Amino acid sequence: MTILEARDRIGGRAWTEERLGHTLEMGATWVHWMQPFIWTEITRYGQTIYPSPVADTAYWLSGGEVHQGTEAELDAKLERPQAKIFEGSRDFFPYPHEPLHILDSGDDALIERFRAADQGGVLDALRDGGFSQEEIDLADAYWSAGYNGYTATASPLMAKHWASLSDHRLGLLDEQTLRFKLHGGMRGIYEAIAADLRTDIRLSTVVTAVEHGAHGATVTLEDGSRIESDAVIVTAPLGALGNLSFSPALPEKAQAVIEEGWDCTGFKIWIKIRGHRSLIAYAPTGHPIALIRSEYFLDDDTTILVGFGPDHTKIDLKDRDSVEELIRQWVPDLEVVETTGHDWGADRWSGQTWATPRSGQFLEGWSLFRDTGTRLRFAGADWAKGWNGVVVDGAIETGITTARGLIEEFRATEEG
């Protein structure tokens, strides 16, 4: 086995760096014991977790005004619209790690409802007049960060699937996606896994083409050299698949998804401000930053905030002045010292942040890459059945299942 990595480092969208005077995650950050695959690795490698702080003060924009309260009060305001958005999750996902199970249920009415729930935007459920603009704006901000893209084009099924993976409880969903981090960062996992491998990892090695058939596969490198193998597992996310030429070509539906891309057009930013400020803030579509929250309080009397927004083209992640202007929409006296981040959307080897489906892509998206009928396979968070995209659990899931599937296939061939 040989691992070919286009970057000059391992980890992909998990990337721990020392910046702003602290250990920061440029990509994947939060983990949880209810994420079965990552928790196995945390246990295996003796890693430990600690919580992100609960904010003292919450701010949210609605109706052109800044509202203020506690984080608990903010969460309470979200409960009613979120319950509506989650509606149907128990029926649609009785087995959360088999997300398309309902399609084989034989219940035509339920299947029709399931398919309809993949259309439109995640906020459409709130447009019946029963919700205030404030509730809609809060849900918009929450899911702009959650999908890391525009809510108008975000498949409602993903939110319902996340609910099912969190026992249909908003509080547990928040805990799984924004509460617990690893001491020392995600590199404690990806470096430990790499150290256990009994194979070569070739960094800065760019693959340009993949030929695949029923009995083997060949990759072509950027320098023109070729490597033949029994099988090829492509771990690039959807946003980077346009860099690869496949022969034979992928099915038309899969090609169409690659051309369209997921809904995750957004960004993650780290912001260092003066003073110890314990806050969380939300803003709906129309504001470049949808969510900021305090993460670290440093000894030099500064605070590091983490932020998310739906469109990476609407912000300069390293422009202190423009970012300060944006976050002062909530608190006018915030003073930004420095900002940092990685533009995953502009990254050739990523082309996106974490995978979130557009309208129609929950049913006609990730599953199109699960079975090619040849010795070409796909693995990575984008193609997971469980925690698809947003956390590293899905990446580990597909790594295990894809590798195991090939092992069984090789054994069957040998025995035959």
Tell me whether the omega of the peptide bond preceding residue 248 falls within 30 degrees of 0, making it cis: yes
pLDDT at 416: 65
Structure tokens, 153: 């084009």
SS3 state at 204: coil
| Strand 291-298 relative to strand 65-69, pairing | unpaired
Dihedral sign, Cα of residue 264, residue 306, residue 6, residue 348: positive
Per the CB < 8 A criterion, the answer to whether 236 and 377 are in contact is: no
pLDDT category of residue 1 using cuts at 50, 70 and 90: confident
Burial of 249 (0-12, 13-18, 19+ CB in 10 A): exposed
- What's the mean per-residue pLDDT of the chain? 97
pLDDT at 83: 97
pLDDT beyond 90 at 354: yes
pLDDT category of residue 414 using cuts at 50, 70 and 90: confident
397, 368, 400, 376: which is closest to 233 by C-alpha?
376
Strand partners, 207: 221
Q: Model confidence over 193-244: pLDDT tens digits?
A: 999 999 999 999 999 999 999 999 999 999 999 999 999 999 999 999 999 9
| Strand 291-298 relative to strand 279-282, pairing | antiparallel
Structure tokens, 36: 């079965």
Instruction: From residue 153, give the alpha-carbon distance in Å to each of 32, 116, 156, 213, 259.
Output: 28, 14, 9, 36, 16
* Euclidean distance between CA atoms 288 and 309, whole angstroms: 6
- As a whole-number percent, the residues of the chain with pLDDT over 70 amount to 100
* Euclidean distance between CA atoms 366 and 371, whole angstroms: 11
pLDDT at 412: 86
pLDDT at 267: 98
pLDDT at 160: 98
pLDDT beyond 70 at 118: yes
Q: What is the mean pLDDT of residues 379-391?
A: 93
* Euclidean distance between CA atoms 146 and 150, whole angstroms: 10
pLDDT at 254: 97
* Euclidean distance between CA atoms 305 and 135, whole angstroms: 24
pLDDT category of residue 390 using cuts at 50, 70 and 90: confident
Q: Model confidence over 308-349: pLDDT tens digits?
A: 999 999 999 999 999 999 999 999 999 999 999 999 999 999
Per the CB < 8 A criterion, the answer to whether 172 and 166 are in contact is: yes
> Which ranges of 238-307 would DSSP assign to H, the alpha helix?
252-260
Q: Model confidence over 249-280: pLDDT tens digits?
A: 999 999 999 999 999 999 999 999 999 999 99
pLDDT beyond 90 at 415: no
pLDDT category of residue 371 using cuts at 50, 70 and 90: confident
Phi-psi region of 200 (alpha: psi -120 to 50; beta: other; left: phi over 0): beta
Per the CB < 8 A criterion, the answer to whether 154 and 355 are in contact is: no
Give residues with Cβ within 8 angstroms of 65, minimum separation 6: none
Dihedral sign, Cα of residue 157, residue 162, residue 167, residue 173: negative
